[in-house]
């Protein structure tokens, strides 16, 4: 995706805390449906695609050494590349959960609650 198109998309979209997993899930389902790709979006294929995108994400950090929080030394192109690979991982993850019939948002919230019980603040 070109930079100008990306900027245009960013300008037209709301802030990220307003984006729901449900909205992403629905957009992905439509994206696959209109292309006749639903047949290929089975759990195994999506898991493999997800792992492939995690590999692409890892390549961005490969050989860089430690990276400062906020990525102050990164170019805007590098940051845009990172946004895209992070997004690919998220999109395949959400799609995988959807075709498995799982509510990923609720599952994630429940897991945070479970984590809090396993690791109480008083013990940290």
What is the C-alpha to C-alpha distance for residues 124 and 117, in angstroms, rounded to an integer?
Answer: 12
For ligand DCP, which stretch binds (CB under 6 A), given 11-19, 31-39, 100-108, 116-124? 31-39
* CA distance between the termini of the chain: 44
Name residues whose C-beta falls within 8 Å of residue 44's C-beta, 6 or more positions apart in sequence.
none
The answer to whether residues 48 and 89 touch, using CB atoms and an 8 Å cutoff, is no
Near ligand DCP by CB under 6 A, which window of 11-19, 32-40, 61-69, 103-111? 32-40
Q: Is residue 83 a contact residue for ligand DCP (CB under 6 A)?
A: no
Near ligand DCP by CB under 6 A: residue from 23, 33, 56, 83: 56
Minimum Å distance from CB 14 to ligand DCP? 20
> The tokens of 10 are what?
């960013």
Please count the other Cβ atoms lying within 10 Å of the Cβ belonging to residue 78.
13
Our CB check for ligand DCP shows the closer of 8 and 56 to be: 56
Q: Whose Cβ is closer to ligand DCP: residue 80's or residue 88's? A: 88
Return d(Cα 94, Cα 96) in angstroms, integer.
Answer: 5
- 37 is a site residue for ligand DCP (CB under 6 A): yes
Single out the segment in contact with ligand DCP by CB under 6 A; choices: 3-11, 29-37, 73-81, 100-108: 29-37
């Amino acid at each position: 995706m070109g930079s100008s198109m990306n900027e245009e998309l960013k300008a037209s979209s709301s802030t990220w805390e307003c984006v729901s997993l449900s909205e992403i899930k629905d957009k992905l389902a439509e994206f696959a449906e209109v292309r006749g790709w639903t047949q290929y979006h089975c759990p195994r294929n999506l898991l493999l695609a997800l792992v492939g995108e995690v590999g692409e994400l890892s390549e961005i950090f490969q050989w860089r050494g430690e990276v400062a929080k906020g990525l102050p030394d990164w170019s805007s192109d590098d940051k845009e590349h990172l946004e895209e690979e992070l997004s690919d991982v998220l999109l395949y993850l959400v799609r995988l959960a959807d075709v498995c019939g799982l509510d990923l948002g609720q599952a994630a919230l429940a897991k945070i609650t479970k984590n809090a019980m396993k690791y109480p603040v008083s013990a940290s």
